[in-house]
A and B are shown apart, each in its own frame.
Chain A
Amino acid sequence: MKESRRAFLKELGGGTLALGFGLPLLDAGPWNSASGAVLPEVALPADPAVSAATQWGLVVDVEKCLQDEVRRAVMDACHREHNVPRIPDPEERVDWIWSEPLEHVFPDEVHAHTPPGVRGAPVLVLCNHCTNPPCVRVCPTAATWKREQDGIVMMDMHRCIGCRYCMAACPYGARSFNWREPRDWVQTDANGKPVSDYPTRSRGVVEKCTFCAERLRVGLPPACVEAANNVPGGEGALTFGDLTDQDSNVSRTLRERITFARRVSLGTGPNVYYILPQSIPTAAAVETV
């Protein structure tokens, strides 16, 4: 007997229907007996510690940071605190705070008669936590955003897809991409565990300074600020505080000293400021830490 096309189509349709009704039943195993449970609805109050400031800002005293020990202490403290991988290859480095020659930090301020010692003077650089951050505008997944409570440009590593638009958008080069598995390059203790509890990142995400949001939450200053203050001669090299509070150290410093921010003409509104030295001693050579 030959089956008619009509009968075949009928059976096919019937089979598909049976499959459609049958598959959900497979899910009803013992593991899913409590699947009716829903997340309890609770009202979550905002954490008061987070909203202690309206816009955090940082002032870098470049003269005090000419000392190698100060810069090294600052960079080490930050990278240790956040389990930042220390990759020697300059193409694949990851940095949250690092040192650049002055002519790269302030490219519009050097000219034909700027002496090499000034051009090469080491300046600490980090994320500027801009008022109008271009990285946030371009992020397709909202993995980076400007936190309204305190102006920190935050990163959500769970959401970053590694497209690196933010790196292209940032005019300060403040973001690093994890080309390699960062765990292989993180400082570890005797047990082989990362030195800090701070979550490491995974390969394929972008990372940067967060103004130590995790420390601010518990009332501590950023690790870099604390480290600078602990080095003899480094006291006050970095000043941190709320820019909207007129009585904060940062606001007072900005009122009393002549300060500069990087590439202001771009309109990003950087919130890291620099006090430039009157002169650079010749001993402060080009630094490429």
Chain B
Amino acid sequence: MGDRGRIGVGLGIFLVVAAYPVWSALAAPGPSGRPELERSVDASGCVEDTAFMKASHSQLLNGWRTAVVRDGRRMWTSSTGREWEMSLTGTCMRCHANSEAFCTRCHDYAGVQPGCWSCHVVPEGEGTS
């Protein structure tokens, strides 16, 4: 039992190292190190509210993809009753015109790499590198 102290210290060091991604992000400058995202150029509102989009935009886009590609539907009614064309480049990117300062910045921070732009063409005006 004489090693208890040393084991405790070792475990402590291990936890600090293992939690590096968490505390380094929290310690980074800015509000808990979160990326500054470029605002939509159109203030009239997104297809759904911000909280929903933040949490579920990928599911929403997957649903749009299935509806457009497989079922041949193009129009979508939001929960507020407004009609939208289901189009990543036509609808989303019309407001979030700079994919680099919106999609990429947050995806990089979150460590996810969706493959959208390996096929879809970023509309004219702004673009990724």
**A contact set with B: CB distance below 8 Å:** 1, 31-35, 37-40, 42, 44-47, 50-51, 83, 145, 147, 149, 154, 156-158, 183, 191, 193-194, 196-202, 217
Q: Which of these binds chain A: B5-13, B37-45, B96-104, B119-127? A: B119-127
A47 touches B48 (CB 8 A): no
What is the chain A residue whose CB lies nearest that of B65?
A: A158
A40 touches B73 (CB 8 A): no
A47 to B69, CA, bound (A): 12
B76 touches A199 (CB 8 A): no
B121 touches A198 (CB 8 A): yes
A149 to B75, CA, bound (A): 17
In the assembled complex, the CB of A158 is this many whole angstroms from the nearest CB of chain B, namely: 6
Q: Which of B51, B70, B122 contacts A34 (CB 8 A)?
A: B51
Q: Which of B54, B79, B121 contacts A83 (CB 8 A)?
A: B121
B76 touches A202 (CB 8 A): no
A-B contact pairs, 20 of them (CB 8 A): A1-B1, A34-B52, A34-B56, A39-B59, A40-B78, A42-B79, A44-B71, A44-B73, A44-B75, A44-B76, A44-B77, A47-B72, A47-B75, A50-B72, A83-B121, A156-B70, A158-B69, A197-B89, A199-B121, A200-B121
A198 to B69, CA, bound (A): 13
Contacts of B1 in A (CB 8 A): 1
Q: Determine if B113 is an interface residue (Cβ-Cβ < 8 Å).
A: no
A157 touches B63 (CB 8 A): no
Contacts of A45 in B (CB 8 A): 73, 75
A157 to B120, CA, bound (A): 11
Known A193-B121, A197-B89, A202-B118; contact A149-B76, beta-carbon cutoff 8 A: no
- How many residues of B are in contact with the other chain, CB < 8 A? 34
A200 to B120, CA, bound (A): 6
Known A47-B74, A197-B89; contact A34-B55, beta-carbon cutoff 8 A: yes
What is the chain B residue whose CB lies nearest that of A29?
A: B22
A157 to B115, CA, bound (A): 12
Contacts of A193 in B (CB 8 A): 121-122, 124, 127
In the assembled complex, the CB of A83 is this many whole angstroms from the nearest CB of chain B, namely: 7
A37 touches B70 (CB 8 A): no
A31 to B122, CA, bound (A): 27
What is the chain A residue whose CB lies nearest that of B119?
A: A199
Known A39-B60, A39-B63; contact A147-B120, beta-carbon cutoff 8 A: no
B73 touches A42 (CB 8 A): no
Main secondary structure of the interface of A (DSSP, over half): loop
A200 touches B119 (CB 8 A): yes
Contacting residues of chain B (23-66) with chain A, CB-CB under 8 angstroms = 48, 51-52, 54-56, 59-60, 63, 65
A40 to B48, CA, bound (A): 9
Contacts of A202 in B (CB 8 A): 115, 118-119
What is the chain A residue whose CB lies nearest that of B80?
A: A40
Of the listed residues A34, A196, A200, A217, the one surrounded by the most CB atoms of chain B closer than 10 A to its CB is: A34
Known A39-B60, A200-B121, A201-B119; contact A34-B54, beta-carbon cutoff 8 A: yes
Q: Determine if B67 is an interface residue (Cβ-Cβ < 8 Å).
A: yes
A199 to B56, CA, bound (A): 24
In the assembled complex, the CB of B4 is this many whole angstroms from the nearest CB of chain A, namely: 11
In the assembled complex, the CB of B32 is this many whole angstroms from the nearest CB of chain A, namely: 8
Known A34-B54, A39-B60, A158-B65; contact A147-B72, beta-carbon cutoff 8 A: yes
What is the chain B residue whose CB lies nearest that of A142?
A: B70
In the assembled complex, the CB of B117 is this many whole angstroms from the nearest CB of chain A, namely: 10
A199 touches B120 (CB 8 A): yes
In the assembled complex, the CB of B99 is this many whole angstroms from the nearest CB of chain A, namely: 13
In the assembled complex, the CB of A141 is this many whole angstroms from the nearest CB of chain B, namely: 12
